[in-house]
A and B are shown apart, each in its own frame.
Chain A
């Protein structure tokens, strides 16, 4: 596991930000770290980086313990927490130089990283004139300077236009394909559903769900079937023992075995024009888990 939290508690005066939080961010996966605003996502990131001290529990990053090993951890983890920490009066190259000098490495990667985030042609412009998307991309380049094994990105897609989101998603996927661990926090379910392999959901400082995306969404339990002769299709499925009902142009079949539906219909000489598994959206799962549906 790239990062493991065990019974982590963080209090701010009378507010409990993290309440016995425990979960894992798996190695080499793109994890979506979800929760409503105020759930404790940013506090968790800050605690993983030693920026925020915790009141109880422990956090291990790449086998190193936050606290005694924080100095080594930050050299292996690239992070953008909250707003990107950019020097607005400096240009992109100088921002990267400053970060590389502080980090103690990465100066030789500046040109490559500017190419990677598609900012090479804007390298000499001051950051104060950059759009939000350009700043997010520069922040990603900054986080990548030390060639980190783990990337923690706090709401990186927030506020980006659709083209910017697609570009950033493509880059994040490329980083995971290189074997890196990427954790992306978000309160936007659609962002994460398109991006993540693994999901961790927290709410009010507590773990709500974690696991591979498919597991969290749950197996498909319903299929929608369309056919030219819908009545015959429904009769065939019903006589084969399926629980089936007509719903407008569709037949809705309660089963998790799509192959059996195809086999049954083919055996009856009915060929479906569509067979669609009904998957719950991450948003509906999330709302159900966090009790925010009301």
Chain B
């Protein structure tokens, strides 16, 4: 497994994809930070009605914004896996190590780590801007920062697994990205439906990373009855398990 992890890491860092996506992620995060943190300080009337987010809430708000950007793990995971399954790279890899599950575990771990690092870097960047530009005083307790980091890892893992699931079943980049992103948006809307909320990935993620009411992204509608933390964690990991199973089944049952 160590060799597979090294191989996946080398493939990832030597591709332009990851670095370009990091750059895009930084630009998107920077724009949101400029809009939400810097602009209200330098020009309070520039956007009428824009709420002023003060420290320390500004830190957690930024983390929630960043973790809500599911496109990053989805696109990264789909392109990495479908780039191989759509060519002879995948079948050649199986002539070196025939156990598909080992490849899948290595890919999931390395891609999750890469997405997690991107998230942590973006959160750190946001925190720096917030520290310099946001009004108010104070910071989050260390335990809360650690919690944000761990929750970020869990959420990235889930989206990577779901993206791999879509890729394992569909094999090609376009349909897999389309299905994964459609699920991301559709599931967010479905989460407003009370019977679905108990298993909703959006509800669970929101519970983990925090609901900022009027500051929330998307529809701005909060969940009236937030699920318990343990249930939220179980739901997030349950979706990750489902994605991993779909990926395994898709890769196992179809010829490479």
The one of B89, B95, B256 in contact with A74, judged by C-beta atoms closer than 8 angstroms, is: B95
When the two chains form their complex, are residues B4 and A101 in contact, meaning their CB atoms are under 8 A apart? Answer: yes
CA distance A71 to B6 in the complex (A): 20
- Any A CB within 8 A of the CB of B231: no
Q: Given the complex, which residues of B lie within 8 Å of A74, measured CB to CB?
A: 94-98
CA distance A79 to B99 in the complex (A): 16
Q: Indicate with 1 or 0, residue by residue over B84-105, a CB within 8 angstroms of chain A CB atoms.
A: 0001111111111111000000
Q: Indicate with 1 or 0, residue by residue over A20-38, a CB within 8 angstroms of chain B CB atoms.
A: 0000000000000000000
When the two chains form their complex, are residues B88 and A101 in contact, meaning their CB atoms are under 8 A apart? Answer: no
CA distance A142 to B89 in the complex (A): 12
Name the CB-closest residue of A to B95.
A79
When the two chains form their complex, are residues B91 and A51 in contact, meaning their CB atoms are under 8 A apart? Answer: yes
- Any A CB within 8 A of the CB of B10: yes
- Given contacts A81-B91, A102-B7, list 7 more A-B pairs with CB under 8 A: A77-B95, A81-B95, A85-B89, A89-B15, A94-B10, A98-B10, A101-B7
Name the CB-closest residue of B to A102.
B96
Q: Given the complex, which residues of A lie within 8 Å of B213, measured CB to CB?
A: none
Name the CB-closest residue of A to B256.
A51
User: Could you list which residues of chain A lie within 8 angstroms of chain B, going by C-beta atoms?
Assistant: 46, 49-53, 70-71, 73-74, 77-87, 89-90, 94, 97-104, 142, 145-146
When the two chains form their complex, are residues B94 and A51 in contact, meaning their CB atoms are under 8 A apart? Answer: yes
Q: How far is the CB of B28 from chain A (nearest CB, A)?
A: 24
Q: How far is the CB of A48 from chain B (nearest CB, A)?
A: 10
Ordered by A's residue number, 22 sampled pairs between the chains whose C-beta atoms are within 8 Å are A46-B91, A46-B255, A49-B94, A49-B98, A50-B94, A52-B255, A73-B98, A81-B92, A85-B87, A85-B90, A85-B91, A86-B89, A87-B89, A90-B11, A98-B11, A101-B6, A102-B93, A102-B97, A103-B3, A103-B97, A142-B92, A145-B96
CA distance A51 to B255 in the complex (A): 6
Chain B residues with a Cβ closer than 8 Å to the other chain, count: 24
Given A70-B98, A79-B95, A102-B3, decide whether A84 and B10 contact each other with a Cβ distance below 8 A.
no
Q: Given the complex, which residues of A lie within 8 Å of B93, measured CB to CB?
A: 85, 102
Considering residues B14, B89, B94, B256, which has the most beta carbons from chain A within 10 angstroms of its beta carbon? B94
Q: Given the complex, which residues of B lie within 8 Å of A90, measured CB to CB?
A: 10-11, 14
Q: How far is the CB of A153 from chain B (nearest CB, A)?
A: 12
Q: Given the complex, which residues of B lie within 8 Å of A52, measured CB to CB?
A: 255
Q: How far is the CB of A4 from chain B (nearest CB, A)?
A: 19
Q: Given the complex, which residues of B lie within 8 Å of A100, measured CB to CB?
A: 3
CA distance A100 to B97 in the complex (A): 10
When the two chains form their complex, are residues B255 and A89 in contact, meaning their CB atoms are under 8 A apart? Answer: no
When the two chains form their complex, are residues A71 and B95 in contact, meaning their CB atoms are under 8 A apart? Answer: no
The one of B10, B88, B98 in contact with A71, judged by C-beta atoms closer than 8 angstroms, is: B98
CA distance A82 to B256 in the complex (A): 12
When the two chains form their complex, are residues A85 and B88 in contact, meaning their CB atoms are under 8 A apart? Answer: yes
CA distance A53 to B97 in the complex (A): 16
CA distance A103 to B98 in the complex (A): 10
CA distance A145 to B16 in the complex (A): 27
Q: How far is the CB of B84 from chain A (nearest CB, A)?
A: 8
Q: Given the complex, which residues of B lie within 8 Å of A104, measured CB to CB?
A: 3, 97
Given A49-B95, A102-B3, decide whether A83 and B255 contact each other with a Cβ distance below 8 A.
no
CA distance A113 to B89 in the complex (A): 20
Q: Given the complex, which residues of B lie within 8 Å of A142, measured CB to CB?
A: 92
Q: Indicate with 1 or 0, residue by residue over B65-90, a CB within 8 angstroms of chain A CB atoms.
A: 00000000000000000000001111
Q: Given the complex, which residues of B lie within 8 Å of A50, measured CB to CB?
A: 94, 98
CA distance A202 to B189 in the complex (A): 57
When the two chains form their complex, are residues A82 and B88 in contact, meaning their CB atoms are under 8 A apart? Answer: yes
Q: How far is the CB of A142 from chain B (nearest CB, A)?
A: 7
Q: Given the complex, which residues of B lie within 8 Å of A70, measured CB to CB?
A: 98
Q: How far is the CB of B5 from chain A (nearest CB, A)?
A: 8
CA distance A86 to B88 in the complex (A): 8
CA distance A100 to B11 in the complex (A): 13
Q: Given the complex, which residues of B lie within 8 Å of A97, measured CB to CB?
A: 7, 10
Q: Given the complex, which residues of A lie within 8 Å of B98, measured CB to CB?
A: 49-50, 70-71, 73-74
